[in-house]
Amino acid sequence: MMKTASSENQLTGLYSKITLLVISVICLSSIISPPIALLLGIIFAQFIKHPFPETTKKATNWLLKISVIGLGFGMTTTSAIQAGKEGFIFTLFTIFGTLLLGYILGKIFRVDKTISFLISGGTAICGGSAIATFSQIVKAKPDQISIALGVIFILNSVSLFIFPTLGHLMHMSQSDFGLWCAIAIHDTSSVVGASAKYGNEALGTATTVKLARALWIIPIALSSSFLFKQKDLKIKIPYFIGLFILAIIANTYIPAAHNLSPIIVKLAKAGLTLTLFLIGTNLSYKLIKSVGISPIFQGTILWISISVFSLIAILLF
């Protein structure tokens, strides 16, 4: 009986590995869109035991960075500077507005103050990266970090599906939609995924504005360290943003790089699709259930608020 059980476990493990590999190859082949890749990942998480959960989390981190750098070869310095100018004022107001509203909502829903701060910071700047940095400041416990990440990942998934549809229903321009994604969607992966589905111009705007927004991790983390009295804080600077800028410069001024850019951008988009699938494979029902209702209420209202406010501001001004 023990041998039979062991054999069944081995077969189950083999089945899950093969399924993970097959879907990963399909994602890289560009047959499916980023939202569908995320959906496949979520379905995988509900019905199949993940064979390499920790490995895929690490791989996702690096794959996203490499894909974003690759997307830089699809942009020029002129378009990047223009996108950066358009997004600066919105970025400034929405970051501090989101942090303030997050604090108020945390009090209203009686969310643990550490979790509340992490959710607010993740929503205001760049999702998981911000949470990873801010968790050092507040000395967050693993379960507090998991809950905050769970809220952000759940809302990211929703954003990736509904934003392109809403953009088309409102007949938003490519640049307006890209700006909206960069401000209202948490993680860079979902920002790039949603904007890529909408169009190349939206993708360029969204990526540039989002990465510029990510740099606000540094001043927000430094100022927060004084509030939380953390003197020995080590901030992880997102160096890959510098490589993204170099990719844009190379595509603009180096003919050989410009000639290769269509291939590089295609590979980068395929890498992003795979990234979203791997993110989805870690969004199990167990994770969603562990989050709790109060943090979800706080995160959802905060996300809807920033989405509606930024949309109105973009369409009016």
- pLDDT 10s digits, 67-123: 888 888 988 888 777 776 766 777 888 899 999 999 999 999 999 888 999 999 999
Average pLDDT over residues 203-210: 90
Tokens 């100022």, residue located:
223
User: Is residue 218 included in any domain, yes or no?
Assistant: yes
Position 2 pLDDT exceeds 50: no
Average pLDDT over residues 226-236: 62
Closest by CA position to 192, among listed 177, 180, 183, 182: 182
User: Is residue 11 included in any domain, yes or no?
Assistant: no
User: Is residue 66 included in any domain, yes or no?
Assistant: yes
Q: What pLDDT, on the 0 to 100 scale, is given for residue 14?
A: 80
Instruction: Please tell me the distance from the alpha carbon of residue 145 to that of residue 268, in angstroms, as a whole number.
Output: 29
- The continuous run of DSSP H or E covering 239 comes out as none
Query: What mean pLDDT is reported for the chain?
Result: 85
Q: What would the DSSP string read from start to end of 156-212? A: HHHHHHHHHHHHHHTT--HHHHHHHHHHH--SHHHHHHHHHHH-HHHHHHHHHHHHH
User: Is residue 4 included in any domain, yes or no?
Assistant: no
User: Is residue 5 included in any domain, yes or no?
Assistant: no
Indicate the pTM of the whole model: 0.82
User: Is residue 6 included in any domain, yes or no?
Assistant: no
Q: What pLDDT, on the 0 to 100 scale, is given for residue 130?
A: 83
Q: What is the sign, positive or negative, of the torsion defined by CA atoms of 63, 65, 66, 70?
A: positive
- The residue ranking higher by pLDDT, 223 or 316, is 316
Q: What pLDDT, on the 0 to 100 scale, is given for residue 103?
A: 93
Average pLDDT over residues 30-49: 87
User: Is residue 151 included in any domain, yes or no?
Assistant: yes
Provide φ and ψ at 49, rounded to 5°.
-70, 125
Q: How many domains does the chain have?
A: 1
Provide φ and ψ at 173, rounded to 5°.
-70, 165
Measured in residues, the chain has a length of 317
Instruction: Please tell me the distance from the alpha carbon of residue 13 to that of residue 148, in angstroms, as a whole number.
Output: 30
Position 5 pLDDT exceeds 60: no
User: Is residue 52 included in any domain, yes or no?
Assistant: yes
Q: 295 lies in which domain range?
A: 21-316
Whether the CB-CB separation of 300 and 105 falls below 8 Å is answered with no
Whether the CB-CB separation of 270 and 70 falls below 8 Å is answered with no
157: alpha, beta or left, given left = phi > 0 and alpha = psi -120 to 50? alpha
Closest by CA position to 72, among listed 199, 203, 186: 203
- The residue ranking higher by pLDDT, 53 or 119, is 119
Q: What pLDDT, on the 0 to 100 scale, is given for residue 6?
A: 58
